[in-house]
Amino acid sequence: MITYKNNIEYYGLLFLAFFPLYPFFLLSIGIGVYLISVFLSRYLGKVKQEKTNYHFIFLSVLFYLFLLIKAFLNENYIEEIKYFRSSVSLLIFPLAWLISNKPISSKQRKNVIKIFVYSSFILAIYIVFFSLFFTLKTNRNFNIFYEEIPIINVHPNYASLYFLTSILFIYLNLKESKSKIIDVLLMLFFTTILFILAVRVVIVALLIILSIEFLFNKQFSTITKSSIFIGVILLAVFSFFIIKPFNKKIKETILLQKIELPYAKFPTSTQIRLGIYDCALPIVEKNFFFGVGAQSFEKEINECYKKFNNYDKVNYNTHNYYLFLLGSSGIFSLLSFVYLFALHLKKAVALKDHLYLYITISLLITLLTENFLSRVQGAIFAMFFITLFIKSNNLLVEK
């Protein structure tokens, strides 16, 4: 019974690890179950609570506090505050750390991530089979970029990061795996889905991480690392000729002469982003220190974007989280965020925790082109894994 009480938070994390499969209403329930498990772990568990590292927790929420303070000071503060409902996990998880700073074991962390990987695999299968079903039923291809998948409503950017994380976890545990062939096939499957979804920033993150792994990690032999690296490159080349979305995105990236402001009737995703940046940068220049508020920043961008003749009443965000922080709450919010993740990188390197390091790098790269932490699934993904990393490395305890 004592063991059960001491592991209540672990069971809450196991339940939350299914979040790649949760529709939106279940995401809130998942977080609620985890919070309840944290309370029960603190007050029913027999393990004594050690002194909390309040400094680390404060740094973890500082950038978000800047955003909230700016929202409260804005004239339209009610609208501004509502904007943060989707990213409230960035505050909820650190509050949970305050309630209970008890660590989890490496084995427990691995078990939780296994559940996440299984969930991501089911999600990938669901995407493939629903796409095939849709194509057969309607005689036209299903496009995940423009049509939501029923029930889960997954966005390719989030799904791609789930699959990248699964690839990294499987790879880093390959040496001790008892089913290496199955694991290699899983890695190939997830990588193929990555190329099908054709989210360039995630593919770039994969290639950068593989390069770091090839140069610095001595856990695997050079032959093993070279085989995996070459395999991914060959799969990318094959995908370029076979998979149309991937082919289109690569050509769009390579053909620099087409990178211009989105005055065309059907602009590319790169042109749309350039249009957004063209509208966002003047706002940032005028409000560099304190920003204009998140909701106001987005409204001003969309009002400016109307000058491009393809405006179709889509509400665009900055598609760059660093730019979002700068325009919403100013330079101090951005600096506190950069400092926080520099601290995560430093700790991951010092602890030689490769998964911690690579997922942090993946997030930082993804945030260059996506407001990943402004959305429910993105915020949960980031805080779920940060919680696993800091608890398994006992970083919430003052030393």
Tens-digit pLDDT profile for residues 244-302: 666 666 666 655 545 678 777 778 778 888 899 999 999 999 999 999 999 999 999 99
Tens-digit pLDDT profile for residues 157-177: 889 999 999 999 999 998 888
- Total-model pTM: 0.92
pLDDT block averages, 10 residues each, the chain of length 399: 74 97 91 95 79 95 98 92 95 96 95 98 88 68 54 80 97 90 94 86 91 79 75 73 64 60 77 90 96 95 83 78 98 98 97 97 96 95 98 91
For position 140, what pLDDT does the model report?
60
Place of tokens 């290639």: 207
DSSP-derived secondary structure letter, 23:
-
Q: Which amino acid is at 109?
A: R
Q: Which amino acid is at 69?
A: I
Give the 3-state secondary structure of 164-231.
HHHHHHHHHCCCCCCCHHHHHHHHHHHHHHHHHHCCHHHHHHHHHHHHHHHHHCCCCCHHHHHHHHHH
> Domain coordinates of the chain in residue numbers?
2-254+331-392
Sign of CA dihedral 353, 355, 356, 358: positive
For position 134, what pLDDT does the model report?
67
For position 2, what pLDDT does the model report?
46
- Helical spans, DSSP H, in the chain: 2-6, 8-16, 24-44, 54-73, 77-82, 89-99, 106-138, 156-172, 180-197, 200-216, 222-242, 244-254, 269-286, 294-305, 321-329, 331-351, 354-366, 376-392
Entry field: residues in the chain = 399
For position 250, what pLDDT does the model report?
65
> Contact, 9 vs 47, CB < 8 A?
no
DSSP 3-state of 155: coil
